[in-house]
């Protein structure tokens, strides 16, 4: 399912690094509306999870999924999965505004939930998810893939933890995406109530990275704006958005997201992140090193008191989040991601969307 030219079907594959034995941690997939579910399942299977079930109302989607994951069983219904006591975690990439309701059903069935970003589209959904977590003690985890499933982003976190740039104080994030043939996208992609708006959707990656890299627990959205510059046939689509946030520790962020990746780029988006610290800075060129024509990715540039360094880390760092998540589910720890962090990123992307000025 990996497609480097189409972000909707981008599903990274890494090296197997099992943290459990076969059959020790059983998972299932429900709702295959977004291709990210393949990346989610790839990561967990590589970490040792056993993928037992899949369910979607669309038989063709199920058929394709089973081809990608031989041995998985097609369930007759969502209930068949939720009633299976062997299943410990359910992965999902449902239509965005339906992700929370599914998560609530999953948690009420006694299972942990792992959803694609954005995990929800309203503050009301957020409160409902929080309440269900409190009542059930289950996890509502989120696939913020642009940090969790990108080796350059993982390595940047390790550098920051080691003090390579001192204290991070500002982030500039750029998340351009390729829309491709507009008719190739599902109808819900163009309905704002369903996809949530551009800042809620792909903006969620950027806000989550700000919280993580800068150690931010809460933040204020200082301004946000959205527009439709190039898709008049789809008036509810927002193809551009940007925002500025200020964290509770004084760190700041500006980010831009858009749907204007040109056809000539070799990948679906030239994702960049610039992290400024008190003793240096980091630049990430996640998916392409533009103009080099060498088909490489995961470039990390570090400048500090020791000089200038360049790392190309594809295949060298891995994706530790997935193994950590499995162990968190087993031991009820929070090493992969805290629930507070997952919900705060979700909250801030919704707030950025709600207060966004429509400029075009």
CATH number reported for the structural domain that contains residue 207 in this entry: 3.30.360.10
Span 171-198, pLDDT tens digits? 999 999 999 999 999 999 999 999 999 9
- Is 255 strand, coil or helix? strand
Cα separation, 200 vs 179, in Å, equals 17
Within 10 angstroms of residue 28's Cβ, the number of other Cβ atoms is 28
Mean pLDDT, all residues of the chain: 95
Q: Which residues contact 244 (CB under 8 A, 6 or more apart)?
A: 221, 222, 223, 224, 252, 253, 254
> Is the per-residue pLDDT at 325 higher than 70?
yes
Q: Are 316 and 309 in contact (CB under 8 A)?
A: no
Tell me if the pTM is above 0.85: yes
Look at 255-264, 290-299, 303-312 and tell me which has the smallest mean pLDDT.
290-299
Is 1 a residue whose pLDDT tops 50? no
- H or E element, residue 26: strand 26-30
Domain that holds residue 129: 7-144+322-332
Residue 282 contacts residue 275 (beta carbons within 8 Å)? yes
Tens-digit pLDDT profile for residues 59-94:
999 999 999 999 999 999 999 999 999 999 999 999
The share of the chain scoring above pLDDT 90, in percent, equals: 92
Same domain, 135 and 175: no
Task: Give residue-wise pLDDT tens across range 142-174.
Answer: 999 999 999 999 999 999 999 999 999 999 999
- Same domain? For 47 and 169 the reply is no
Task: Find the mean pLDDT for residues 100-111.
Answer: 98
Say whether pLDDT at 11 is over 70.
no
Whole-angstrom Cα distance, residue 108 to residue 106? 5
- Among residues of the chain, what percentage have pLDDT more than 70? 96
> At residue 2, does pLDDT exceed 60?
no
The verdict on 103 and 200 lying in the same domain is no
Query: CA-CA distance, 53 to 50, in Å (whole number)?
Result: 9
Give dist(CA 315, CA 141) in Å, integer.
Answer: 25
N- to C-terminal Cα distance for the chain? 35
Q: Measured between alpha carbons, how far is 162 from 177 in angstroms, rounded to an integer?
A: 31
155 and 291 in a single domain? The answer is: yes
Say if residue 130 is in the same domain as residue 166: no
CA nearest neighbour of 116 among 102, 131, 130, 127: 102
DSSP symbol at 188:
G
Closest by CA position to 141, among listed 340, 352, 355, 296? 340
pLDDT for the residue numbered 15: 75
* pLDDT(104) > 70: yes
CB atoms within 10 A of CB 187: 8
Domain count of the fold of the chain: 2
CATH number for position 73: 3.40.50.720
pLDDT tens digits, residue range 195-252?
A: 999 999 999 999 999 999 999 999 999 999 999 999 999 999 999 999 999 999 999 9
**Domain for residue 337, yes or no?**
no
Mean predicted confidence (pLDDT) in 26-48: 97
Question: Measuring CA to CA, which residue among 253, 86, 66 is closest to residue 175?
Answer: 253
Q: Is there a domain that residue 305 lies in? A: yes
pLDDT of residue 16: 76
Cis before 291? omega within 30 = no
Q: Does any domain span residue 343?
A: no
Same structural domain, 188 and 112: no
pLDDT value at 8 more than 90 = no
Q: Establish if 345 belongs to a structural domain.
A: no
Q: Contact at 8 Å (CB) between 107 and 138?
A: yes
């Amino acid at each position: 399912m990996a497609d480097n030219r189409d972000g909707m079907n981008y599903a990274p594959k890494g090296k197997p690094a099992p943290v459990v034995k076969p059959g020790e941690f059983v998972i299932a997939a429900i709702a295959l509306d977004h291709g990210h579910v393949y990346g989610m399942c790839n990561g967990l299977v590589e970490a040792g999870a056993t993928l037992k079930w899949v369910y979607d109302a669309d038989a063709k989607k199920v058929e394709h999924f089973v081809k990608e994951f031989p041995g998985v069983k097609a369930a007759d219904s969502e209930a068949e999965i939720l009633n299976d006591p062997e299943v410990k975690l359910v992965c999902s990439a449902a239509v965005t505004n339906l992700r929370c309701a599914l998560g609530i059903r999953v948690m009420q069935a006694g299972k942990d939930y792992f959803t694609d970003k954005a995990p929800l589209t309203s503050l009301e959904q957020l409160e409902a998810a929080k309440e269900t977590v409190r009542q059930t003690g289950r996890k509502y985890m989120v696939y913020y893939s642009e940090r969790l499933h990108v080796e350059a982003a993982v390595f940047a976190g390790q550098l920051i933890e080691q003090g390579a740039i001192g204290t991070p104080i500002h982030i500039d994030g750029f998340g351009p995406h390729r829309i491709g043939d507009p008719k190739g996208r599902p109808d819900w992609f163009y309905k704002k109530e369903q996809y949530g708006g551009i800042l809620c959707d792909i903006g969620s990656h950027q806000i989550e990275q700000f919280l993580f890299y800068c150690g931010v627990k809460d933040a204020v959205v200082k301004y946000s704006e959205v527009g439709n510059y190039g898709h008049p046939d789809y008036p509810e689509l927002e193809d551009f958005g940007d925002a500025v946030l200020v964290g509770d520790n004084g760190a700041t962020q500006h980010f831009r997201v858009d749907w204007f990746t040109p056809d000539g780029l070799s990948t679906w988006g030239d994702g960049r992140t610039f992290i400024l610290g008190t003793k240096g800075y980091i630049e990430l060129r996640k998916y392409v090193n533009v103009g080099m024509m060498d088909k490489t990715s995961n470039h990390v540039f570090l400048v500090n008191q020791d000089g200038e360094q360049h790392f190309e880390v594809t295949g060298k760092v891995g994706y530790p989040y997935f193994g950590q998540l499995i162990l968190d589910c087993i031991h009820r720890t929070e090493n992969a991601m805290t629930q507070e962090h997952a919900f705060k990123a979700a909250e801030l992307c919704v707030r950025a969307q709600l207060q966004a000025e429509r400029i075009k």
